[in-house]
Amino acid sequence: MSRTFLVTGASKGIGLALAQRLHRSGHQVVGLARRSTADFPGTLVLTDLADPEATEATLRELLARFRFDGVVNNVGLVRPQPLGAVELPVLEEVLRVNLHPALQAVQALLPGMIERGWGRVVNITSLTVLGALERTAYAAAKAALASFSRSWALELATTGITVNAVSPGPTQTALFRENNPVGSSGEQRYLAQVPMRRLGWPDEIASAIAFLLSDDAGFITGQTLHVDGGASIGKAAF
């Protein structure tokens, strides 16, 4: 069955890989992003998800055009700062961009999904929730998003709507490379924590998300699926 999914942060990286995978499976994809991309396989709407008024207006417009079956909250913002230099405005910005659009999108789509008795919400968190250098703001935001997933899953458990999270490990995305260039100490630090000793590819993360959006995942809710090359389970033997 063809369904319609909303994906935030959809113009690159994991979001774009997911849109392409869903399109190949016959689904309709509506993406939200700040920048356009020529290879988006669906409807890409440009909006600033950091602006709550613009986000609300965009969602209202889309609800008049599409009947959504689910949403993937993928938009993210990283502002690395060491503990002693964490600035409150930066903390607020990171929390706002990672959390506010997710809440707004789910609230907008929720009435329709409840009415139809079927829906999927997947929140993209991060391995950094387990602890990471200079990620006070980002790790806190993604931990909150994981908590959203569990709380929403409980509230919606009898509605036919599932809510889950996918926690990627270090992945070959523009966002990762902005903070960890090839050959950098940051890249080596991440690779040292991954038992498989490599970065993930966006389509590998997209595959896990697509599964949670499917009918096959109908009895899975409130869970976080780690797609991280084993990084979340600890290191190999000392």
DSSP string, 102-160: HHHHHHHHHHHHHHHT-EEEEEE--GGGG--TTBHHHHHHHHHHHHHHHHHHHHTTTTT
Please give the single-letter amino acid code of residue 133. L
Token pair for 7 = 């994906």
> Quick one: pLDDT band at residue 1, thresholds 50, 70, 90?
confident
- For residue 220, report the phi and psi dihedrals to the nearest 5 degrees: -115, 120
Q: Which pLDDT does position 143 carry in this prediction? A: 97
Q: Is the pLDDT of residue 238 over 60?
A: no
- 138 catalytically annotated: yes
Q: Which pLDDT does position 133 carry in this prediction? A: 85
Reduced to 3 states (helix: H, G, I; strand: E, B; else coil), residue 206 is: helix
Token pair for 77 = 């913002």
Q: Which pLDDT does position 171 carry in this prediction? A: 94
Q: Which pLDDT does position 189 carry in this prediction? A: 87
Residues 72-89: what's their mean pLDDT? 93
Q: Is the pLDDT of residue 112 over 60?
A: yes
pLDDT in tens, 56-75: 999 999 999 999 999 999 99
Whether domain 4-228 has CATH 3.90.440.10: the reply is: no
Residues 171-178: what's their mean pLDDT? 84
- Count the helix, strand and coil residues of the chain and give each as a percent rounded to the nearest 5: 45, 15, 35
Percent of the chain with pLDDT over 90: 87
**Averaged pLDDT score across all residues of the chain:** 95
Among residues 5, 68, 138, 176, the one annotated as catalytic is 138
> Quick one: pLDDT band at residue 78, thresholds 50, 70, 90?
confident
Q: Which pLDDT does position 73 carry in this prediction? A: 99
Q: Which pLDDT does position 190 carry in this prediction? A: 86
Residues 177-191: what's their mean pLDDT? 89
> Quick one: pLDDT band at residue 7, thresholds 50, 70, 90?
very high
Residues 180-198: what's their mean pLDDT? 92
Q: Which pLDDT does position 236 carry in this prediction? A: 62
Q: Is the pLDDT of residue 237 over 60?
A: no
Q: Which pLDDT does position 178 carry in this prediction? A: 81
Mean pLDDT is highest, among 53-57, 127-131, 188-192, for 53-57
Q: Is the pLDDT of residue 235 over 80?
A: no
Q: Which residues contact 228 (CB under 8 A, 6 or more apart)?
A: 127, 167, 168, 169, 170, 194, 200
pLDDT in tens, 15-57: 999 999 999 999 999 999 999 998 999 999 999 999 999 999 9
